[in-house]
Amino acid sequence: MKTNRALIFISSLLCSSSFVQAEIKETTVDYQSGGVTCEGLHVVDTAKTGKLPAVLIIHQWTGLSENEKMRAHMLAELGYNVFAADVYGKGVRPQPPAAGKEAGKYKSDRKLYRERMLSALEVLNKNEHTDPSKVAAIGYCFGGTGVIELARSGALLKGVVSFHGGLDSPNPADGKNIKGNVLALHGADDPFVPSSDVAAFEQEMKDAKVDYKLVKYPGAVHAFTQKAAGNDNSKGAAYNEAADKASWEEMKAFFSRIFKSDQ
């Protein structure tokens, strides 16, 4: 009898709302940016009710890939409404060395880069699951450069997180346009981001009185969150498990802070 009662009790708990299982839904979304059709990815836990804090993801230099898809699912499992942007345009998914040329087009034309990201942000803001007062952006490598540039555009964001992104700016005065917080997660041994860029970035943030944090991971080089980069630091880009995990936890703590309801 006691066993039956225990089973009934456990069954009732599993059926209660507190035990609702996540229902992660993934949808490709076509949208327009300056006459170009882009194909982004929307991911959300449909078991969640009401408006959710939202996160825009800006991809690395090969375009929207399985890596961004993985991160989108990880964020959705944390309770965020997620949209992974497509900066390059539908079907444009270059591999090295073509990826470098494609990324360079946007790095040299920051106005175009901003326009593509702002179009994606608009899609996320208009999504029925989004709480527009609680929106942030994250980016990797090329996208890490991008989210800081998006913040410099004056976009209404609670914050941005740059994972091993470029920190340079052709117009440091644009730092004054940043409306949210900035978290830069940087490989301390990244050969593609010179110390002069790091110093200039910090000066830009200080001059603009931005609430920012720069975290440097010892022994980490460029692309430290990308398993496909391999583990040979001598190449300048390599996966670093410790830095990958630590940076993700840093991002989670950052979001907990900026998305507090009293902010």
Q: What CATH number does residue 103 fall under?
A: 3.40.50.1820
Give the per-residue pLDDT at 21: 72
Give a yes or no: residue 233 inside a domain: yes
> Could you give the CA distance from residue 135 to residue 118 in angstroms, rounded to a whole number?
13
What total number of domains does the chain contain? 1
What is the mean pLDDT of the segment spanning 137-159?
99
Give the per-residue pLDDT at 261: 59
> Could you give the CA distance from residue 49 to residue 27 in angstroms, rounded to a whole number?
18
Residue 155 belongs to domain spanning: 23-258
Residue type, 9: F
Which residues does 108 contact at the CB level (< 8 Å), separation at least 6? Answer: none
Give the per-residue pLDDT at 8: 45
Residue 2 scores a pLDDT above 70: no
Mean pLDDT rounded to a whole number for the chain:
93
pLDDT digits (tens, 9 = 90+) for 159-194: 999 999 999 999 999 999 999 999 999 999 999 999
Give a yes or no: residue 93 inside a domain: yes
| pTM of this structure | 0.91
Q: Is the peptide bond before 97 cis (omega within 30 degrees of 0)?
A: yes
Both structure tokens of 97:
């060395």
Give a yes or no: residue 11 inside a domain: no
Q: Is 139 helix (H, G, I), strand (E, B) or coil?
A: strand
Residue 111 scores a pLDDT above 60: yes
> Could you give the CA distance from residue 240 to residue 48 in angstroms, rounded to a whole number?
33
Residue 263 scores a pLDDT above 80: no
Helix (H) or strand (E) holding 31: strand 24-33
- DSSP letter at 247 equals H
List the one residue out of 134, 154, 149 whose CA is nearest residue 254.
134
Give a yes or no: residue 165 inside a domain: yes
